[in-house]
Amino acid sequence: MRPTYIVLLSAFLQLTFGFSLTTGYLKYFRRKAIDIIDQAGPNDDCARQLKAWIGELFGPKSTWAMKMLDASAKLQTGLYSFNIFHFGDFDGCLNIKEEKIGMGIIEGKYCTAAVLPAQNSSSDLAQILNFVTIVPEMTGSQKGKDMQHILKILKVIYGLCLPKACSALSIQKLWNHLEASFKMPLRVAVDEDFCTFTGKVPFVFQWDTIVIWGFVVYAVFVLAATVCDLSQLTPRGWIQLLRPFSLYRNARKILLPGKKASWGCLDGLKVFSMCWVIFGHVYTIEILTGTTNMVSYFQ
């Protein structure tokens, strides 16, 4: 049905029966969305806040609900240029705070979800998200085929603004229910490590303390070796063992030209190999971060 016919039909229903087609669609959407939430899991705080958000969406007093919808990412232009990073409004999501009777305070929680093609899906949308095959076809270059090890880890990143009461596991269960019920061609992966909200403690690695103390012990060891090297003590015993770790001695070897003959070409090869490693990392990081015209990297 063309948009003109939809407008005419909406006007006819409004004038004849006092029924708004837009209002009818919104009411149907709300009822259907609430039913899906009830079927997907228990009626916990997350479900209640999601239903409150849907119930007030597009309503007369829906400022906070509209802000939450607006803070989530939207499909951007440049999809055929592989603009696959859709972040939304991070600060706008975290600034949402609404007090509701019987629910307490509803706050915004920002999560980045990975959008993948569903397994064994033959739909056009799933094929577009299969970068291993679509990139070489679109670019028509051998370079895309050679970069398959990078293409395998590329994912569409989508920013979501959700109620703080919803954990990543709750959202994952909700999407799994949607995918199974409606045969969705997309699979969404949500991880709590990629979610944040106001007051959340940053992610801390378990080995942080051990690594920091290891660096401290190594720095003290190098400092002691440097002091022994500069103290003009007779190089014997344990002092002789410490001197090779002296910062002063090793800095002189690196920065000053050596007196002994050496294979200078080996130093040149080291420089070239290091430049190649740096170039490879820069190239990979550029691809895995927010780039709007990623297809140019494969041409």
Task: Identify the domain containing residue 172 by its residue range.
Answer: 63-197
Q: What's the pLDDT at 27?
A: 78
In this structure, how many other beta carbons lie within 10 angstroms of the beta carbon of residue 90? 15
Q: Are residues 191 and 84 in the same domain?
A: yes
pLDDT mean by block of 10 residues, the chain; 299 residues: 49 53 71 86 87 81 86 80 83 91 88 83 63 61 57 79 93 89 84 90 78 94 87 68 84 72 71 88 73 64
Q: Are residues 156 and 71 in the same domain?
A: yes
| The model's pTM | 0.68
192 and 74 both lie in a single domain = yes
Predicted confidence at residue 170, as pLDDT, reads 92
299 assigned to some structural domain = no
Answer whether residue 246 is part of any domain. yes
What is the number of structural domains in the chain? 2
pLDDT at position 145: 53
Check if the beta carbon of residue 191 is closer than 8 Å to that of residue 168: yes
Residue 150: its pLDDT value, please?
Answer: 62
Give me the residue label for tokens 């569409």: 156
Q: Which of the listed residues 152, 172, 197 is the one where a domain comes to its end?
A: 197
- Tokens 């370079």 correspond to 143
Residue 184 tokens read as: 């969705």
Alpha helices in 57-141 (DSSP H): 63-71, 90-94, 124-128, 131-139
E strands in the chain: 85-86, 97-100, 104-117, 156-163, 186-189, 195-197
